[in-house]
Chains A and B, each alone.
Chain A
Amino acid sequence: MNADKPIIEVRNLTIGYDARIILKDLNFEVAPGEIFGILGGSGCGKSTLMKHLIGLYEPFKGSIGIFGENISQANEAQKRKIMQRFGVAYQGGALFGSMTLAENVGLVLEEYTDLNAEQIRRRVSEKLALVDLAGFENFMPGELSGGMKKRAGLARALALDPKLLFFDEPSAGLDPITSAELDKLILRLRDQEGTTIVVVTHELDSIFTITDRVIMLDKNTQGIAATGNVHKLLSESPDPWVRNFLSREGLKRAEMAK
């Protein structure tokens, strides 16, 4: 793939539910190897945008290109093909309750690879170890804490070594230390595997640590208030709302840097 070609390309996108528009006329792209943040206040449509990007809902208008294919106009079979190429880590883990962690993580391997049982077992253990859940193979999701579920969900999303990962609220509901560990893991994925990662978050700490570029959604205009690097936006954005949104944490960091 051409390194300059964006992995995600959003053009004139208008989305919402039933007859209600949540966001309109969005334009942005995500470059390969980028950690891309979707920011904004509560209820502005971050999760809505992500659900549309991954093809769960059809947009009202516009197009979403993923790996150069228009997921919003694909038929079911094509959609499934595209979906197999990216991973999604859901906010609450979304693990299948009737299956053990190993079965959860191994499911896509069984579905889409020719690996034998032993190879799958090894790959599963590897992925669980990656998210610090080694030894929990035979636990049921119901026996795990919220943070563990989230990490197991990440392991499942990574099972096929996707080139693109979507992560909804990686740090919401986690203690600061676990959340920092997760941030490190996200950075490592990008640095070592070259994975492109789209995160939805309102945890300012993570935003400043991990994201290369962000879009900030504005509930009032139903559009993008700002695009760019958060550090730059904090110091240079002409929009006081944007600076204000980023500033509390930004100030703290600036002080720490001194």
Chain B
Amino acid sequence: MPSQQEKFAIFDPKKIFFQVLDFTGESMRGFCSTLRHPGKLRSRDFFYYFDLCGPKSLPIVLLIELLTGMILGLQAAIQLRKFGTELYVADTLGWSVFKEMGPLMVGIVATGRAGSAFAAELGTMKVNEELSALTTMGISYGRFLVAPKLLAMMLAMPLLTVFGDLAAVAGGGMIAMTFVDLPISVYNARLFEVLNPITFLLGIVKALVFGILITLAGCYMGIEADSDAQGVGRAATSAVVISILLIVLSDALMTQIFSYIGY
């Protein structure tokens, strides 16, 4: 038995590279085909995933972002107090929330909620031979399985980020009012002074990219899961780990690009 060779086959990076390429291509084709024929989108699936990623994630996003805003506000106030410049707590907070922490926290929540759910769902479908059935029915998993999730996430993530940003700014505002004794009007005025719509939009773009990466990572791990219960468990775990890695990497890249174009 060439079991040694078999093990190498499993960790073959070239094979994995082509699998990822294949999967991404198939998903993108499915997505484009859905955009071209929106009538063929399984709307019940879409709304299910949108509900899962959007409204159902909102409470936890609001809570986390509120607390994040408070933590950032507090840290900023402590540092700025050293220079007697607490007034700028809004600048520091707004800047970091809209550009980084807002989308990032939404990404983390979505990874835990949607990414792992996608991987578990597709992994289970693989175990039940549903994926094989889909293939032999001649139906593309990209269009049938990935596209509804991708669309739902691409809609839900920006919306969550808008609400999350507001929650974080509100949390920071609470700190500014209590800890720094900054009047709310001053806080708001500073916020509007430093932030412009582009900063805000670029944060949204980040969330959109995170949403795409989380969906693709979750679906890929599910499709490539080992066909047993433990395999599905591992797929859900890897989906989360890989999503977080991708989020941080893409964030670093986008921050570079955005700063290059002047934001």
Q: Is B130 an interface residue (CB 8 A)?
A: yes
Which of chain B's residues has its CB closest to A54's CB?
A: B136
Q: Are B2's CB and A56's CB within 8 A?
A: no
| CB atoms of B128 and A94 under 8 A apart | yes
B51 contacts chain A at the CB level, 8 A cutoff: no
Which secondary structure dominates chain B's binding surface? helix
Within 8 A of B (CB), among A13-38: 17-20
A to B contact number (C-beta, < 8 Å): 69
B8 proximity list for chain A (CB < 8 A):
19
Q: Are A83 and B129 in contact (CB under 8 A)?
A: no
Determine the distance from Cα of A19 to Cα of B15 in the docked complex, in whole angstroms.
Answer: 13
Over the window 19-62 of chain B, the binary record of Cβ atoms lying under 8 Å from chain A Cβ atoms (1 yes, 0 no) is 00000000000000000000000001100100000000000000
Chain B interface, number of residues (Cβ within 8 angstroms): 24
Among B135, B136, B139, max chain A CB count under 10 A is at B136
Contact with B along A66-92 (1 / 0, CB 8 A): 000000000000011101101010111
Q: Is B10 an interface residue (CB 8 A)?
A: yes
Of A17, A80, A94, the residue contacting B132 (CB under 8 A) is A94
Mark interface residues in A129-171 (1 if CB within 8 Å of B CB, else 0). Answer: 0000000000000000000000001001000000000000000
Are A96 and B130 within 8 A (Cβ)? yes
B128 & A92 in contact (Cβ 8 Å cutoff): yes
> Does residue B230 face the partner (Cβ distance < 8 Å to A)?
no
CB distance from B34 to the nearest CB of A (A): 14
Contact A95 B9 (CB under 8 A): no
A17, A20, A97, A108: which contacts B137 (Cβ < 8 A)? A108
Bound form: Cα–Cα A96–B141 in Å = 12
Q: What is the bound-complex CA distance between A212 and B2, given in angstroms?
A: 37
User: Is A88 touching B136 in the complex (CB atoms < 8 A)?
Assistant: yes
CB distance from A195 to the nearest CB of B (A): 16
List A210-253 residues whose CB lies under 8 Å from chain B. none
Q: Name the B residues within 8 Å of A54 (CB-CB).
A: 136
| A56 with B136: CB separation less than 8 A | yes
CA distance A102 to B124 in the complex (A): 21
Given contacts A20-B1, A20-B2, contact A107 B137 (CB under 8 A): yes
Partner of B130, one of A17, A51, A83, A94: A94
| B138 & A94 in contact (Cβ 8 Å cutoff) | no
B6 at the binding interface (Cβ < 8 Å): yes
Is B229 interfacial (CB-CB < 8 Å)? no
CA distance in complex: A19, B133 (Å): 25
- Residues on B with C-beta less than 8 A from A86 are 136
B196 sits at the interface (CB 8 A): no
B178 at the interface (CB under 8 A from A): no
Question: What residues make up the interface of B, taking CB atoms closer than 8 Å to A?
Answer: 1-3, 5-6, 8-10, 44-45, 48, 124-125, 128-130, 132-139
Q: A54-B136, A83-B137, A96-B134 are in contact. List 4 more A-B contacts (CB 8 A).
A: A20-B1, A94-B128, A95-B130, A97-B130
Chain A residues within 8 Å of B, Cβ to Cβ: 17-20, 51, 54-56, 79-81, 83-84, 86, 88, 90-92, 94-98, 107-108, 111-112, 153, 156
